[in-house]
C-alpha cells in the first residue's frame, strides 16, 4: 500500500515565473520518495539498507532556493530532448531548426530553459502523482505544441516513471530523469565502493564534444567496470550505451527490458536495478561535480560522489537516420517507462 501526501514546498520568485511549488511524498514499507512540481524533480529518495535503516540516496537541496539556482539537473526530468543535439541544429520536412547552444557548440537537455526549469501541473493518482505541461510551439526552438505527462508510481520497492507526449507537429523527443544516486547515502564522498554492471549489446563512441560519431560499437554481454578509483576516470565509464538489456517478450518495441543496469553498495546492502522500454542508457559518474555545490544537510558534492542512469533514446538521433527514431508525429503518442527497483541484501 502506497501513501501519497502533498504540501507546499515554496514559491518561485517572479523572475522564475512565480507560482507555488508543491512537494508530493510517496511512501511504501521500503521506499519514500519526494517529488516536486518544479521540473518533476526527485528531491529525496529514502530506501532501506541491510540493517533496516533508511538513507536518502539522491543528491539535491533542502529548500526551493537551491533548485532555482544553477545546478546540474539534480533529480529533474529533462527535455524536449535529453542529451546532446549537434550544433543545436536539425532539419525536418525541409525546414531547418536552430536550438539554444548551452553546452559548448551543442544543445543539451532541452536548451537554456528546458523541462527541468518549469512548473508542472500536478494530479494525485493511485499510488503516485502525474504531472502535465504544454510546451508551446517554438519553445527553445522546437516545433509543435507538445502535451507532456510524467507519472511517478511507487509499489513496494519499485518506482516507475512513465513519460507520455503528443504533438501538433513533427518534433524530436527523448525524455529522461536526471537523478544523481549514491547508495551509501547522499553526502557520501564518492561511489568507488559501488559495484556497477551494465548489460548492453552496443555503445556509441563520441567526439570531443560528446556527440556520437557515425559508428556503433558492438559488445558482448555484461560490461562490468571495476570499482577501483582510477578506473572511474575512464571515458567508457561515463559513455553512452545503446540497445540496453534483453526484451522480456522477444517482440521488441515498447516491451520492458531486463536489465539495463544493476548497482550495489556492499557495505549497506542497498541495490538498484533499472528496467526500461527505452533503447539506450546514459551512465554518468558525476565527472563535472567539483564540491562547490552544498546540498542537503550542507553536504558537499565532489567529483564522482554520485552516478546517473539516464534511460533515453540515442544522442543526436535526429541528425543520424540510422539511429533509433526520435521523431513524434501528429496523431501518434510517445510512451516510455523506466522502472527503478530498490532492494537490500
User: Which residue's C-alpha cell is 511517478?
Assistant: 152
Spell out the residues 6+ positions from residue 78 whose beta carbon is closer than 8 angstroms to its own: 109, 110, 114, 115, 116, 175, 176, 177, 178
Q: What region, left, alpha or beta, does residue 251 occupy, with left being phi > 0 and alpha being psi -120 to 50 degrees? A: alpha
Catalytic residue among 46, 109, 178, 199: 178
Task: Answer yes or no: is 178 a known binding residue.
Answer: yes
Task: Answer yes or no: is 266 a known binding residue.
Answer: no
In this structure, what C-alpha cell is assigned to residue 285? Answer: 559518474
Active-site annotation holds for 34: no
Catalytic residue among 46, 139, 140, 310: 310
Distances (CA, A) of 156 to 2, 47, 58, 159: 8, 11, 18, 8
In this structure, what C-alpha cell is assigned to residue 252? Answer: 521488441
Coil, helix or strand at residue 315: coil
Give one DSSP letter per residue of 170-211, joined into a string. Answer: -EE-B-EE---B-TT-TT-S-STTEEEEEEEEEEE-B-TTS-
Distances (CA, A) of 321 to 91, 92, 136, 216, 282: 12, 12, 26, 13, 20
Active-site annotation holds for 178: yes
Task: Answer yes or no: is 304 a known binding residue.
Answer: no
Please, are residues 318 and 90 in contact by the beta-carbon 8 Å criterion? Answer: yes
Spell out the residues 6+ positions from residue 219 whose beta carbon is closer than 8 angstroms to its own: 200, 201, 202, 203
Please, are residues 307 and 281 in contact by the beta-carbon 8 Å criterion? Answer: no
Q: How far is residue 284's CA from residue 147's CA, in Å, rounded to a whole number?
A: 29
**Residue 140, phi then psi, degrees to nearest 5:** 55, 20
Extract the annotated binding site for beta-D-galactose. 83-84, 178-180
Residues annotated as catalytic (active site), given as ranges: 178, 310
* Sequence ranges of the binding site: 83-84, 178-180
Amino acid at each position: 500500500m502506497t501513501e501519497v501526501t502533498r504540501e507546499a514546498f515554496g514559491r518561485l520568485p517572479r523572475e522564475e515565473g512565480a507560482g507555488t511549488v508543491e512537494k508530493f511524498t510517496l511512501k511504501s514499507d521500503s521506499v519514500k520518495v519526494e517529488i516536486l512540481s518544479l521540473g518533476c524533480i526527485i528531491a529525496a529518495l529514502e530506501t532501506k539498507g541491510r540493517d533496516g535503516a533508511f538513507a536518502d540516496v539522491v543528491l539535491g537541496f533542502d529548500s526551493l532556493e537551491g533548485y532555482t539556482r544553477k545546478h546540474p539537473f539534480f533529480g529533474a526530468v529533462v527535455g524536449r530532448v535529453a542529451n546532446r543535439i549537434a550544433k543545436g541544429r536539425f532539419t525536418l520536412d525541409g525546414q531547418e531548426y536552430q536550438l539554444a547552444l548551452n553546452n559548448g557548440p551543442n544543445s543539451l537537455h532541452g536548451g537554456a530553459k528546458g523541462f527541468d526549469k518549469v512548473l508542472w501541473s500536478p494530479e494525485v493518482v493511485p499510488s503516485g502523482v502525474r504531472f502535465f505541461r504544454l510546451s508551446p510551439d517554438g519553445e527553445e526552438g522546437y516545433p509543435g505544441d507538445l502535451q507532456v505527462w510524467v507519472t511517478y508510481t511507487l509499489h513496494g520497492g519499485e518506482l516507475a516513471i512513465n513519460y507520455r507526449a503528443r504533438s501538433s507537429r513533427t518534433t524530436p523527443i527523448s525524455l529522461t530523469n536526471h537523478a544523481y544516486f549514491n547508495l551509501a547515502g547522499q553526502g557520501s564522498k564518492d561511489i568507488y565502493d559501488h559495484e556497477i554492471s551494465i548489460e548492453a549489446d552496443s555503445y556509441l563512441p563520441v567526439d570531443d564534444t560528446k556527440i556520437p560519431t557515425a559508428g556503433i560499437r558492438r559488445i558482448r554481454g555484461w560490461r562490468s567496470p571495476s570499482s577501483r578509483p582510477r578506473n572511474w576516470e575512464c571515458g567508457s565509464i561515463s559513455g553512452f550505451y545503446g540497445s540496453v538489456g534483453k526484451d522480456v517478450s522477444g517482440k521488441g518495441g515498447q516491451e520492458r527490458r531486463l536489465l539495463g543496469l544493476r548497482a550495489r553498495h556492499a557495505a549497506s546492502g542497498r541495490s538498484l536495478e533499472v528496467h526500461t522500454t527505452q533503447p539506450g542508457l546514459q551512465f554518468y559518474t558525476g565527472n563535472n561535480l567539483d564540491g562547490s555545490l552544498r546540498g542537503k544537510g550542507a553536504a558537499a558534492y565532489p567529483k564522482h560522489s554520485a552516478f546517473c542512469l539516464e534511460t533515453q533514446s540515442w544522442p543526436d538521433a535526429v541528425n543520424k537516420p540510422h539511429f533509433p527514431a526520435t521523431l513524434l508525429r501528429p496523431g501518434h503518442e510517445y510512451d516510455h517507462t523506466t522502472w527503478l527497483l530498490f532492494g537490500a541484501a
